[in-house]
Amino acid sequence: MLSYKAPLRDMRFVREELLDFPGLYASLPGYEEFTPELINQVLGEAARFCEDVLAPLYRSGDEEGCTWTPEGVKTPAGFAEAYRKYVDGGWAALSSSQDDGGQGLPASVGLFLEDMMGTANWAWAMYPGLSHGAVRTLKTHGSAEEKATYLGKLVSGEWTGTMCLTESHCGSDLGQLRTRAEPRADGSYAITGTKIFISSGDHDLAENIIHIVLARLPDAPPGTKGISLFLVPKKLPQPDGTLLANTLACGAIEHKMGINGSATCVMNFDGATGFIIGEPNRGLHHMFTFMNAARLGTAMQGLAACELSWQGARDYAFERLQGRSLAGAKNPSGPADPLIVHPNIRKLLLTQRAFAEGSRAFLYWLCRQVDTMDRSPDAAARKQAEDLMALLTPVGKAFVTEVGYEAANLGMQVLGGHGYVRANGMEQIVRDTRIALLYEGTSAIQALDLLGRKVMGTGGALLKSYQEHIEAFCVAQDGREDMAAFVQALRATGARLEGLTWKIAESAMKNAEEADAAAFEYLMILGYLVLAHMWAWMARVAADALAAGSTETEFYAAKIETARFYFQRVLPRTESLAICVEAGGASITAIPQNHFAA
Protein backbone atom coordinates (compact mmCIF):
# COMPACT_ATOMS: atom_id res chain seq x y z
CA MET A 1 0.00 0.00 0.00
CA LEU A 2 1.39 3.39 -0.99
CA SER A 3 2.30 5.79 1.79
CA TYR A 4 3.40 9.20 0.51
CA LYS A 5 6.15 11.02 2.38
CA ALA A 6 7.01 14.55 1.26
CA PRO A 7 10.66 14.64 0.08
CA LEU A 8 11.45 17.75 2.10
CA ARG A 9 15.21 17.15 2.20
CA ASP A 10 15.49 16.86 -1.55
CA MET A 11 13.23 19.86 -2.04
CA ARG A 12 15.42 21.90 0.30
CA PHE A 13 18.57 20.73 -1.49
CA VAL A 14 17.22 21.95 -4.82
CA ARG A 15 15.88 25.25 -3.46
CA GLU A 16 18.72 26.29 -1.21
CA GLU A 17 21.89 24.50 -2.32
CA LEU A 18 21.38 24.10 -6.05
CA LEU A 19 19.26 27.04 -7.19
CA ASP A 20 19.83 29.56 -4.35
CA PHE A 21 16.22 30.63 -3.94
CA PRO A 22 17.19 32.44 -0.70
CA GLY A 23 19.52 34.66 -2.72
CA LEU A 24 16.87 35.16 -5.38
CA TYR A 25 14.18 36.17 -2.87
CA ALA A 26 16.59 38.60 -1.19
CA SER A 27 17.16 40.29 -4.57
CA LEU A 28 13.48 40.67 -5.55
CA PRO A 29 11.47 43.64 -4.21
CA GLY A 30 8.78 42.47 -1.80
CA TYR A 31 10.27 39.00 -1.30
CA GLU A 32 13.13 39.92 1.03
CA GLU A 33 11.31 38.70 4.14
CA PHE A 34 10.94 35.14 2.84
CA THR A 35 13.93 33.58 4.53
CA PRO A 36 14.81 29.88 4.30
CA GLU A 37 13.51 29.38 7.84
CA LEU A 38 10.11 30.84 6.93
CA ILE A 39 9.83 28.89 3.67
CA ASN A 40 10.84 25.63 5.37
CA GLN A 41 8.23 26.20 8.07
CA VAL A 42 5.50 26.84 5.49
CA LEU A 43 6.42 23.79 3.42
CA GLY A 44 6.72 21.63 6.53
CA GLU A 45 3.11 22.47 7.41
CA ALA A 46 2.10 21.85 3.80
CA ALA A 47 3.78 18.44 3.92
CA ARG A 48 1.68 17.46 6.93
CA PHE A 49 -1.50 18.53 5.11
CA CYS A 50 -0.53 16.49 2.06
CA GLU A 51 0.55 13.40 4.01
CA ASP A 52 -2.27 13.37 6.56
CA VAL A 53 -5.25 14.78 4.62
CA LEU A 54 -4.72 14.28 0.87
CA ALA A 55 -2.74 11.06 0.60
CA PRO A 56 -5.29 8.93 2.50
CA LEU A 57 -7.92 9.92 -0.11
CA TYR A 58 -5.77 8.87 -3.07
CA ARG A 59 -7.02 5.32 -3.50
CA SER A 60 -10.54 5.82 -2.12
CA GLY A 61 -11.11 8.72 -4.49
CA ASP A 62 -10.11 6.52 -7.40
CA GLU A 63 -12.34 3.65 -6.28
CA GLU A 64 -15.42 5.83 -5.71
CA GLY A 65 -14.95 8.38 -8.47
CA CYS A 66 -17.29 11.30 -9.15
CA THR A 67 -21.04 11.02 -9.50
CA TRP A 68 -23.26 13.01 -11.86
CA THR A 69 -26.66 14.13 -10.53
CA PRO A 70 -29.19 16.64 -11.90
CA GLU A 71 -28.27 18.92 -9.01
CA GLY A 72 -24.57 18.79 -9.82
CA VAL A 73 -21.47 16.63 -9.58
CA LYS A 74 -20.62 14.94 -6.29
CA THR A 75 -16.95 14.37 -5.55
CA PRO A 76 -15.64 11.31 -3.65
CA ALA A 77 -16.07 11.11 0.10
CA GLY A 78 -13.60 13.31 1.95
CA PHE A 79 -12.74 15.56 -1.00
CA ALA A 80 -14.99 18.45 0.06
CA GLU A 81 -13.79 18.30 3.67
CA ALA A 82 -10.17 18.29 2.48
CA TYR A 83 -10.90 21.32 0.32
CA ARG A 84 -12.36 23.20 3.29
CA LYS A 85 -9.19 22.48 5.25
CA TYR A 86 -7.16 23.69 2.28
CA VAL A 87 -9.04 26.98 2.15
CA ASP A 88 -9.18 27.44 5.92
CA GLY A 89 -5.44 26.83 6.12
CA GLY A 90 -4.79 29.67 3.68
CA TRP A 91 -3.14 27.39 1.12
CA ALA A 92 -5.28 28.64 -1.78
CA ALA A 93 -4.10 32.23 -1.25
CA LEU A 94 -0.46 31.37 -0.56
CA SER A 95 1.18 32.91 -3.64
CA SER A 96 -1.36 35.52 -4.67
CA SER A 97 -0.70 39.22 -4.21
CA GLN A 98 -1.67 40.80 -0.91
CA ASP A 99 -3.47 43.48 -2.93
CA ASP A 100 -5.82 40.74 -4.13
CA GLY A 101 -6.31 39.16 -0.72
CA GLY A 102 -3.44 36.68 -0.95
CA GLN A 103 -0.49 36.08 1.35
CA GLY A 104 2.05 37.43 -1.12
CA LEU A 105 4.54 34.56 -1.11
CA PRO A 106 6.52 34.01 -4.31
CA ALA A 107 4.86 32.11 -7.15
CA SER A 108 7.54 29.47 -6.81
CA VAL A 109 6.37 28.57 -3.30
CA GLY A 110 2.92 27.83 -4.70
CA LEU A 111 4.53 25.51 -7.22
CA PHE A 112 6.52 23.78 -4.47
CA LEU A 113 3.17 23.18 -2.79
CA GLU A 114 1.84 21.75 -6.07
CA ASP A 115 4.75 19.31 -6.09
CA MET A 116 3.55 17.83 -2.79
CA MET A 117 -0.22 18.09 -3.34
CA GLY A 118 0.01 16.55 -6.80
CA THR A 119 2.12 13.65 -5.58
CA ALA A 120 -0.13 13.01 -2.59
CA ASN A 121 -3.34 13.07 -4.64
CA TRP A 122 -3.29 14.41 -8.19
CA ALA A 123 -7.04 14.01 -8.81
CA TRP A 124 -7.87 16.17 -5.78
CA ALA A 125 -5.15 18.71 -6.58
CA MET A 126 -6.74 19.46 -9.95
CA TYR A 127 -9.70 21.22 -8.32
CA PRO A 128 -7.70 24.13 -6.85
CA GLY A 129 -4.93 23.84 -9.45
CA LEU A 130 -6.82 25.43 -12.34
CA SER A 131 -7.95 28.32 -10.16
CA HIS A 132 -4.41 29.70 -10.17
CA GLY A 133 -4.49 30.00 -13.96
CA ALA A 134 -7.86 31.73 -13.76
CA VAL A 135 -6.45 34.21 -11.24
CA ARG A 136 -3.43 34.97 -13.42
CA THR A 137 -5.61 35.41 -16.53
CA LEU A 138 -8.11 37.68 -14.81
CA LYS A 139 -5.41 39.74 -13.14
CA THR A 140 -3.56 40.20 -16.46
CA HIS A 141 -6.46 40.79 -18.83
CA GLY A 142 -9.64 41.39 -16.80
CA SER A 143 -11.45 44.70 -16.36
CA ALA A 144 -11.48 46.58 -13.08
CA GLU A 145 -15.08 45.51 -12.46
CA GLU A 146 -14.31 41.85 -13.20
CA LYS A 147 -11.36 41.90 -10.83
CA ALA A 148 -13.39 43.58 -8.09
CA THR A 149 -16.18 41.01 -8.38
CA TYR A 150 -14.32 37.76 -8.92
CA LEU A 151 -10.61 37.98 -8.14
CA GLY A 152 -10.78 38.02 -4.35
CA LYS A 153 -13.05 34.97 -4.17
CA LEU A 154 -10.84 33.04 -6.57
CA VAL A 155 -7.71 33.97 -4.64
CA SER A 156 -9.19 32.85 -1.31
CA GLY A 157 -10.40 29.58 -2.79
CA GLU A 158 -14.03 30.32 -1.89
CA TRP A 159 -14.67 30.03 -5.62
CA THR A 160 -12.78 27.88 -8.11
CA GLY A 161 -11.91 28.39 -11.77
CA THR A 162 -11.80 26.36 -14.98
CA MET A 163 -10.72 26.87 -18.55
CA CYS A 164 -13.20 25.86 -21.25
CA LEU A 165 -11.41 25.49 -24.56
CA THR A 166 -12.11 22.46 -26.65
CA GLU A 167 -15.22 21.05 -28.30
CA SER A 168 -15.99 17.54 -29.53
CA HIS A 169 -15.31 18.29 -33.20
CA CYS A 170 -12.07 20.24 -32.86
CA GLY A 171 -9.82 18.87 -30.12
CA SER A 172 -6.67 20.98 -30.06
CA ASP A 173 -7.57 22.68 -33.36
CA LEU A 174 -9.29 25.58 -31.65
CA GLY A 175 -9.77 27.48 -34.90
CA GLN A 176 -12.80 25.22 -35.50
CA LEU A 177 -14.64 26.04 -32.26
CA ARG A 178 -18.32 27.01 -32.60
CA THR A 179 -19.38 28.34 -29.18
CA ARG A 180 -21.13 31.69 -29.77
CA ALA A 181 -21.11 34.93 -27.80
CA GLU A 182 -24.04 37.24 -28.62
CA PRO A 183 -23.76 40.85 -27.33
CA ARG A 184 -26.49 42.13 -25.05
CA ALA A 185 -27.59 45.70 -24.45
CA ASP A 186 -26.24 45.71 -20.88
CA GLY A 187 -22.69 44.96 -22.02
CA SER A 188 -22.83 41.25 -21.15
CA TYR A 189 -22.89 38.38 -23.66
CA ALA A 190 -25.07 35.32 -24.15
CA ILE A 191 -22.73 32.32 -24.37
CA THR A 192 -24.10 29.26 -26.20
CA GLY A 193 -22.26 26.06 -26.96
CA THR A 194 -20.86 22.84 -25.54
CA LYS A 195 -17.35 22.35 -24.18
CA ILE A 196 -15.82 18.96 -23.41
CA PHE A 197 -13.01 17.64 -21.24
CA ILE A 198 -13.49 20.44 -18.70
CA SER A 199 -11.51 19.54 -15.59
CA SER A 200 -13.34 20.55 -12.40
CA GLY A 201 -16.20 21.83 -14.57
CA ASP A 202 -18.67 21.04 -11.81
CA HIS A 203 -18.25 19.84 -8.22
CA ASP A 204 -19.43 20.27 -4.63
CA LEU A 205 -16.23 21.76 -3.17
CA ALA A 206 -17.03 25.48 -3.58
CA GLU A 207 -20.19 27.56 -3.84
CA ASN A 208 -19.30 29.02 -7.24
CA ILE A 209 -17.21 28.09 -10.28
CA ILE A 210 -15.82 30.70 -12.65
CA HIS A 211 -15.46 29.39 -16.19
CA ILE A 212 -12.96 31.04 -18.52
CA VAL A 213 -14.47 30.32 -21.95
CA LEU A 214 -13.34 30.68 -25.55
CA ALA A 215 -16.16 31.72 -27.92
CA ARG A 216 -16.84 33.62 -31.16
CA LEU A 217 -18.51 37.00 -31.58
CA PRO A 218 -21.07 37.28 -34.42
CA ASP A 219 -18.72 39.26 -36.69
CA ALA A 220 -15.58 37.31 -35.81
CA PRO A 221 -13.18 36.32 -38.59
CA PRO A 222 -12.71 32.59 -39.17
CA GLY A 223 -10.02 30.49 -37.51
CA THR A 224 -8.03 31.33 -34.41
CA LYS A 225 -8.06 35.06 -35.23
CA GLY A 226 -11.77 35.15 -34.45
CA ILE A 227 -11.71 33.81 -30.90
CA SER A 228 -12.58 35.93 -27.86
CA LEU A 229 -12.33 35.14 -24.15
CA PHE A 230 -15.20 35.31 -21.66
CA LEU A 231 -15.78 34.96 -17.93
CA VAL A 232 -18.90 32.86 -17.32
CA PRO A 233 -19.79 32.15 -13.67
CA LYS A 234 -21.83 29.14 -12.63
CA LYS A 235 -23.73 31.54 -10.39
CA LEU A 236 -24.05 35.27 -11.00
CA PRO A 237 -23.18 37.54 -8.05
CA GLN A 238 -26.00 39.94 -7.19
CA PRO A 239 -25.68 43.43 -5.65
CA ASP A 240 -27.00 42.10 -2.29
CA GLY A 241 -24.30 39.41 -2.19
CA THR A 242 -26.55 36.51 -3.17
CA LEU A 243 -25.79 34.19 -6.09
CA LEU A 244 -28.21 33.59 -8.97
CA ALA A 245 -27.93 30.40 -11.05
CA ASN A 246 -26.65 31.00 -14.58
CA THR A 247 -27.97 29.08 -17.58
CA LEU A 248 -25.20 26.50 -17.79
CA ALA A 249 -24.87 22.95 -16.54
CA CYS A 250 -22.74 19.85 -16.56
CA GLY A 251 -24.35 17.52 -19.10
CA ALA A 252 -22.19 14.51 -18.23
CA ILE A 253 -18.91 13.45 -16.68
CA GLU A 254 -16.41 11.37 -18.61
CA HIS A 255 -15.69 7.77 -17.59
CA LYS A 256 -11.93 7.74 -17.83
CA MET A 257 -8.84 5.59 -17.57
CA GLY A 258 -7.61 7.45 -14.49
CA ILE A 259 -7.85 10.53 -12.23
CA ASN A 260 -11.33 9.25 -11.40
CA GLY A 261 -11.63 11.57 -8.43
CA SER A 262 -11.37 14.56 -10.77
CA ALA A 263 -14.60 15.58 -12.50
CA THR A 264 -13.98 15.82 -16.24
CA CYS A 265 -17.16 17.46 -17.51
CA VAL A 266 -19.19 18.12 -20.61
CA MET A 267 -20.35 21.70 -20.05
CA ASN A 268 -23.47 23.05 -21.77
CA PHE A 269 -23.82 26.83 -22.04
CA ASP A 270 -27.40 27.77 -22.96
CA GLY A 271 -27.36 31.53 -23.45
CA ALA A 272 -25.36 31.82 -20.24
CA THR A 273 -24.43 35.31 -19.12
CA GLY A 274 -20.77 36.04 -19.66
CA PHE A 275 -18.41 38.99 -19.73
CA ILE A 276 -15.62 39.57 -22.21
CA ILE A 277 -12.05 39.43 -20.91
CA GLY A 278 -9.60 41.68 -22.70
CA GLU A 279 -9.91 42.61 -26.35
CA PRO A 280 -12.35 41.08 -28.87
CA ASN A 281 -10.79 38.44 -31.16
CA ARG A 282 -7.70 38.26 -28.94
CA GLY A 283 -9.01 35.44 -26.81
CA LEU A 284 -6.46 32.81 -27.73
CA HIS A 285 -3.65 35.23 -26.93
CA HIS A 286 -5.23 36.01 -23.57
CA MET A 287 -5.90 32.33 -22.86
CA PHE A 288 -2.21 31.51 -23.28
CA THR A 289 -1.71 33.28 -19.93
CA PHE A 290 -3.86 30.50 -18.47
CA MET A 291 -2.47 27.72 -20.65
CA ASN A 292 1.20 28.45 -19.92
CA ALA A 293 0.50 28.28 -16.19
CA ALA A 294 -1.44 25.04 -16.77
CA ARG A 295 1.42 23.55 -18.79
CA LEU A 296 3.88 24.09 -15.96
CA GLY A 297 1.31 22.63 -13.58
CA THR A 298 0.90 19.60 -15.86
CA ALA A 299 4.66 19.13 -15.91
CA MET A 300 4.36 18.83 -12.13
CA GLN A 301 2.11 15.80 -12.71
CA GLY A 302 5.02 14.11 -14.46
CA LEU A 303 7.22 14.87 -11.46
CA ALA A 304 4.48 13.60 -9.12
CA ALA A 305 4.31 10.29 -10.99
CA CYS A 306 8.09 9.88 -10.81
CA GLU A 307 8.21 10.65 -7.10
CA LEU A 308 5.24 8.57 -5.94
CA SER A 309 6.15 5.53 -8.04
CA TRP A 310 9.80 5.80 -6.96
CA GLN A 311 8.77 5.88 -3.29
CA GLY A 312 6.46 2.89 -3.64
CA ALA A 313 8.91 0.81 -5.68
CA ARG A 314 11.88 1.64 -3.45
CA ASP A 315 10.08 0.65 -0.26
CA TYR A 316 8.85 -2.59 -1.81
CA ALA A 317 12.32 -3.48 -3.09
CA PHE A 318 13.70 -3.34 0.45
CA GLU A 319 10.87 -5.43 1.91
CA ARG A 320 10.16 -8.05 -0.75
CA LEU A 321 12.26 -11.23 -0.59
CA GLN A 322 12.66 -12.68 -4.07
CA GLY A 323 15.44 -14.89 -5.48
CA ARG A 324 19.11 -14.97 -4.64
CA SER A 325 21.84 -12.59 -5.70
CA LEU A 326 23.99 -14.04 -8.48
CA ALA A 327 27.02 -12.97 -6.47
CA GLY A 328 25.97 -15.02 -3.46
CA ALA A 329 23.27 -14.82 -0.80
CA LYS A 330 22.93 -11.38 0.77
CA ASN A 331 20.30 -12.53 3.28
CA PRO A 332 21.49 -16.04 4.16
CA SER A 333 19.27 -16.39 7.20
CA GLY A 334 16.14 -15.72 5.14
CA PRO A 335 14.39 -17.72 2.43
CA ALA A 336 15.52 -15.25 -0.27
CA ASP A 337 17.30 -11.96 -0.79
CA PRO A 338 15.48 -8.62 -0.96
CA LEU A 339 14.77 -7.27 -4.44
CA ILE A 340 17.10 -4.35 -3.87
CA VAL A 341 20.18 -6.57 -4.33
CA HIS A 342 19.39 -7.46 -7.97
CA PRO A 343 21.08 -5.28 -10.63
CA ASN A 344 18.02 -5.09 -12.89
CA ILE A 345 15.82 -3.90 -10.02
CA ARG A 346 18.44 -1.33 -9.12
CA LYS A 347 18.49 -0.13 -12.73
CA LEU A 348 14.72 0.39 -12.65
CA LEU A 349 14.90 2.22 -9.33
CA LEU A 350 17.82 4.40 -10.38
CA THR A 351 15.99 5.37 -13.57
CA GLN A 352 12.99 6.39 -11.49
CA ARG A 353 15.15 8.34 -9.08
CA ALA A 354 17.07 10.04 -11.88
CA PHE A 355 13.81 11.17 -13.46
CA ALA A 356 12.20 12.24 -10.16
CA GLU A 357 15.05 14.27 -8.73
CA GLY A 358 16.25 15.52 -12.11
CA SER A 359 12.75 16.68 -13.03
CA ARG A 360 12.37 18.43 -9.68
CA ALA A 361 15.59 20.36 -10.29
CA PHE A 362 14.45 21.26 -13.82
CA LEU A 363 10.94 22.38 -12.86
CA TYR A 364 12.14 24.31 -9.82
CA TRP A 365 14.61 26.06 -12.12
CA LEU A 366 11.63 27.07 -14.27
CA CYS A 367 9.88 28.26 -11.09
CA ARG A 368 12.90 30.47 -10.50
CA GLN A 369 12.36 32.04 -13.91
CA VAL A 370 8.69 32.73 -13.05
CA ASP A 371 9.71 34.65 -9.91
CA THR A 372 12.31 36.58 -11.90
CA MET A 373 9.77 37.50 -14.57
CA ASP A 374 7.26 38.60 -11.91
CA ARG A 375 9.52 40.69 -9.69
CA SER A 376 13.03 41.37 -10.94
CA PRO A 377 13.89 45.09 -11.34
CA ASP A 378 16.55 44.07 -13.89
CA ALA A 379 15.10 44.20 -17.42
CA ALA A 380 17.89 42.01 -18.80
CA ALA A 381 17.24 39.36 -16.13
CA ARG A 382 13.51 39.40 -16.91
CA LYS A 383 14.19 39.01 -20.63
CA GLN A 384 16.55 36.10 -20.02
CA ALA A 385 13.96 34.42 -17.80
CA GLU A 386 11.24 34.95 -20.42
CA ASP A 387 13.45 33.39 -23.09
CA LEU A 388 14.21 30.35 -20.96
CA MET A 389 10.53 29.89 -20.14
CA ALA A 390 9.55 30.26 -23.79
CA LEU A 391 12.00 27.57 -24.88
CA LEU A 392 11.66 25.14 -21.99
CA THR A 393 7.96 25.25 -21.03
CA PRO A 394 7.01 22.82 -23.84
CA VAL A 395 9.97 20.64 -22.84
CA GLY A 396 8.84 20.65 -19.22
CA LYS A 397 5.27 19.80 -20.14
CA ALA A 398 6.07 17.06 -22.66
CA PHE A 399 9.38 15.55 -21.56
CA VAL A 400 8.66 15.43 -17.82
CA THR A 401 5.24 13.84 -18.38
CA GLU A 402 6.74 11.32 -20.82
CA VAL A 403 9.40 10.22 -18.33
CA GLY A 404 6.84 10.42 -15.52
CA TYR A 405 4.72 7.85 -17.33
CA GLU A 406 7.82 5.72 -17.93
CA ALA A 407 8.73 5.93 -14.24
CA ALA A 408 5.20 4.90 -13.26
CA ASN A 409 5.46 1.82 -15.45
CA LEU A 410 8.90 1.01 -14.05
CA GLY A 411 7.40 1.11 -10.57
CA MET A 412 4.85 -1.51 -11.59
CA GLN A 413 7.69 -3.59 -13.02
CA VAL A 414 9.59 -3.56 -9.72
CA LEU A 415 6.55 -5.04 -7.98
CA GLY A 416 5.98 -7.59 -10.73
CA GLY A 417 2.50 -9.15 -10.53
CA HIS A 418 1.84 -7.27 -7.31
CA GLY A 419 2.24 -4.05 -9.26
CA TYR A 420 -0.60 -5.02 -11.57
CA VAL A 421 -3.21 -5.43 -8.83
CA ARG A 422 -5.00 -2.48 -7.30
CA ALA A 423 -4.20 -3.16 -3.67
CA ASN A 424 -0.63 -1.87 -3.96
CA GLY A 425 -1.52 1.37 -5.75
CA MET A 426 1.14 1.26 -8.44
CA GLU A 427 -1.22 0.65 -11.35
CA GLN A 428 -3.25 3.69 -10.32
CA ILE A 429 -0.22 5.93 -10.85
CA VAL A 430 0.04 4.60 -14.42
CA ARG A 431 -3.66 5.21 -15.09
CA ASP A 432 -3.66 8.64 -13.48
CA THR A 433 -0.52 9.81 -15.27
CA ARG A 434 -1.39 8.74 -18.82
CA ILE A 435 -3.58 11.81 -19.34
CA ALA A 436 -0.67 14.16 -18.61
CA LEU A 437 0.82 13.28 -22.01
CA LEU A 438 -2.43 14.40 -23.66
CA TYR A 439 -4.08 17.40 -22.02
CA GLU A 440 -2.79 20.96 -22.32
CA GLY A 441 -1.48 19.90 -25.74
CA THR A 442 -0.13 16.44 -26.50
CA SER A 443 3.60 15.75 -26.48
CA ALA A 444 3.60 16.02 -30.28
CA ILE A 445 1.92 19.45 -30.15
CA GLN A 446 4.45 20.63 -27.57
CA ALA A 447 7.23 19.31 -29.81
CA LEU A 448 5.94 21.25 -32.82
CA ASP A 449 5.69 24.38 -30.66
CA LEU A 450 9.28 23.87 -29.52
CA LEU A 451 10.80 23.14 -32.91
CA GLY A 452 8.61 25.37 -35.07
CA ARG A 453 8.03 28.47 -32.96
CA LYS A 454 10.70 28.46 -30.28
CA VAL A 455 13.70 27.14 -32.23
CA MET A 456 13.18 27.75 -35.96
CA GLY A 457 10.86 30.70 -35.38
CA THR A 458 13.63 32.55 -33.53
CA GLY A 459 16.40 31.50 -35.90
CA GLY A 460 17.83 29.32 -33.14
CA ALA A 461 18.30 32.29 -30.78
CA LEU A 462 16.40 30.80 -27.83
CA LEU A 463 18.22 27.48 -28.13
CA LYS A 464 21.57 29.27 -28.38
CA SER A 465 20.78 31.25 -25.24
CA TYR A 466 20.12 28.08 -23.28
CA GLN A 467 23.20 26.34 -24.64
CA GLU A 468 25.24 29.32 -23.47
CA HIS A 469 24.00 28.51 -19.94
CA ILE A 470 25.30 24.97 -20.32
CA GLU A 471 28.64 26.13 -21.74
CA ALA A 472 29.07 28.63 -18.89
CA PHE A 473 28.53 25.77 -16.46
CA CYS A 474 31.08 23.63 -18.32
CA VAL A 475 33.68 26.39 -18.33
CA ALA A 476 33.22 26.82 -14.57
CA GLN A 477 34.28 23.18 -14.09
CA ASP A 478 37.69 23.61 -15.77
CA GLY A 479 40.38 21.80 -13.82
CA ARG A 480 37.93 19.59 -11.90
CA GLU A 481 38.71 15.97 -12.66
CA ASP A 482 35.55 14.81 -10.88
CA MET A 483 33.44 16.81 -13.37
CA ALA A 484 35.35 16.01 -16.57
CA ALA A 485 33.13 13.15 -17.77
CA PHE A 486 29.97 15.18 -17.14
CA VAL A 487 31.33 18.20 -19.00
CA GLN A 488 32.47 16.13 -21.97
CA ALA A 489 29.06 14.48 -22.33
CA LEU A 490 27.18 17.78 -21.96
CA ARG A 491 29.23 19.40 -24.69
CA ALA A 492 28.95 16.39 -27.00
CA THR A 493 25.16 16.16 -26.59
CA GLY A 494 24.76 19.90 -27.07
CA ALA A 495 26.83 19.80 -30.25
CA ARG A 496 24.78 16.83 -31.51
CA LEU A 497 21.56 18.77 -30.91
CA GLU A 498 22.91 21.84 -32.68
CA GLY A 499 23.84 19.76 -35.72
CA LEU A 500 20.38 18.18 -35.80
CA THR A 501 18.78 21.61 -35.57
CA TRP A 502 20.47 22.78 -38.75
CA LYS A 503 19.78 19.48 -40.52
CA ILE A 504 16.06 19.68 -39.74
CA ALA A 505 15.93 23.34 -40.78
CA GLU A 506 17.57 22.53 -44.11
CA SER A 507 15.24 19.59 -44.75
CA ALA A 508 12.15 21.54 -43.73
CA MET A 509 12.94 24.27 -46.26
CA LYS A 510 12.44 21.65 -48.97
CA ASN A 511 9.58 19.79 -47.28
CA ALA A 512 7.81 21.32 -44.27
CA GLU A 513 6.63 17.88 -43.10
CA GLU A 514 10.21 17.01 -42.20
CA ALA A 515 9.87 19.19 -39.10
CA ASP A 516 6.76 17.33 -37.97
CA ALA A 517 8.47 13.98 -38.54
CA ALA A 518 11.44 14.98 -36.38
CA ALA A 519 9.81 17.16 -33.70
CA PHE A 520 9.07 14.61 -30.98
CA GLU A 521 12.51 13.02 -31.06
CA TYR A 522 14.05 16.49 -31.11
CA LEU A 523 12.13 17.53 -27.99
CA MET A 524 13.14 14.36 -26.17
CA ILE A 525 16.81 14.91 -26.99
CA LEU A 526 16.61 18.42 -25.56
CA GLY A 527 14.80 17.06 -22.51
CA TYR A 528 17.51 14.51 -21.82
CA LEU A 529 20.10 17.26 -22.25
CA VAL A 530 18.29 19.51 -19.78
CA LEU A 531 18.21 16.74 -17.17
CA ALA A 532 21.90 16.03 -17.84
CA HIS A 533 22.60 19.71 -17.13
CA MET A 534 20.63 19.42 -13.87
CA TRP A 535 22.38 16.20 -12.80
CA ALA A 536 25.86 17.51 -13.54
CA TRP A 537 25.00 20.62 -11.54
CA MET A 538 23.68 18.54 -8.64
CA ALA A 539 26.77 16.32 -8.69
CA ARG A 540 29.01 19.36 -8.40
CA VAL A 541 27.05 20.80 -5.48
CA ALA A 542 27.06 17.40 -3.75
CA ALA A 543 30.80 16.97 -4.27
CA ASP A 544 31.45 20.43 -2.87
CA ALA A 545 29.33 19.64 0.20
CA LEU A 546 31.29 16.45 0.86
CA ALA A 547 34.58 18.28 0.36
CA ALA A 548 33.44 20.87 2.91
CA GLY A 549 33.00 18.13 5.51
CA SER A 550 29.23 17.58 5.48
CA THR A 551 28.10 14.72 7.71
CA GLU A 552 25.22 13.88 5.32
CA THR A 553 27.51 11.61 3.37
CA GLU A 554 24.82 9.17 2.20
CA PHE A 555 22.58 11.93 0.87
CA TYR A 556 25.31 13.63 -1.15
CA ALA A 557 26.97 10.40 -2.29
CA ALA A 558 23.60 9.24 -3.65
CA LYS A 559 23.38 12.43 -5.73
CA ILE A 560 26.78 11.79 -7.31
CA GLU A 561 26.03 8.10 -7.93
CA THR A 562 22.66 8.87 -9.52
CA ALA A 563 24.26 11.53 -11.73
CA ARG A 564 26.85 9.01 -12.88
CA PHE A 565 24.10 6.47 -13.60
CA TYR A 566 22.11 9.03 -15.58
CA PHE A 567 25.08 9.95 -17.77
CA GLN A 568 26.08 6.34 -18.39
CA ARG A 569 22.69 4.61 -18.74
CA VAL A 570 20.08 7.24 -19.64
CA LEU A 571 21.69 10.10 -21.56
CA PRO A 572 22.94 7.71 -24.32
CA ARG A 573 19.30 7.37 -25.41
CA THR A 574 19.83 10.66 -27.25
CA GLU A 575 22.01 8.92 -29.83
CA SER A 576 19.29 6.53 -30.97
CA LEU A 577 16.85 9.46 -31.13
CA ALA A 578 19.38 11.43 -33.18
CA ILE A 579 19.74 8.55 -35.63
CA CYS A 580 15.96 8.57 -36.10
CA VAL A 581 16.01 12.30 -36.83
CA GLU A 582 18.88 11.89 -39.30
CA ALA A 583 16.92 9.21 -41.17
CA GLY A 584 14.48 11.91 -42.27
CA GLY A 585 10.75 11.63 -42.73
CA ALA A 586 10.56 9.71 -45.99
CA SER A 587 9.83 6.36 -44.33
CA ILE A 588 6.82 8.07 -42.72
CA THR A 589 5.51 10.49 -45.32
CA ALA A 590 6.21 8.58 -48.54
CA ILE A 591 3.87 5.71 -47.70
CA PRO A 592 0.65 6.03 -49.75
CA GLN A 593 -2.30 6.78 -47.51
CA ASN A 594 -4.29 3.75 -48.64
CA HIS A 595 -1.47 1.46 -47.49
CA PHE A 596 -2.47 2.22 -43.92
CA ALA A 597 -5.80 0.54 -44.62
CA ALA A 598 -4.23 -2.49 -46.34
Supply the residues annotated as catalytic: 440
CA 589/CA 140 separation, integer angstroms: 42
Task: Look at strands 264-277 and 228-233 and give their pairing.
Answer: antiparallel
The DSSP secondary structure of 194-254, one letter per residue, reads EEEEEETSS-SSSSEEEEEEEEB-TTPPSGGGG-EEEEEESEEE-TTS-EEE-SEEEEEE-
Count of other CB atoms within 10 angstroms of residue 291: 20
Per-residue CA distances from 425 to 59, 309, 355, 432 (Å) = 7, 9, 20, 11
Dihedral class, residue 385 (left if φ above 0, else alpha if ψ from -120 to 50, else beta)? alpha
With contact defined as beta carbons under 8 Å apart, do 138 and 276 qualify? Answer: no
Cα dihedral sign, 319-324-325-328: positive
Per-residue CA distances from 183 to 31, 235, 275 (Å) = 43, 19, 9
Dihedral angle of Cα 311, 567, 362, 58, to the nearest 10 degrees: -20
CA 315/CA 322 separation, integer angstroms: 14
With contact defined as beta carbons under 8 Å apart, do 427 and 421 qualify? Answer: yes
Per-residue CA distances from 574 to 199, 362, 430 (Å) = 35, 18, 24
Cα dihedral sign, 410-395-260-197: negative
> Is residue 511 helix, strand or coil?
coil
CA 133/CA 110 separation, integer angstroms: 12
Please name which of 398, 428, 399 lies closest in space to residue 411, comparing C-alpha atoms: 428
Please name which of 368, 384, 463, 470 lies closest in space to residue 108, comparing C-alpha atoms: 368
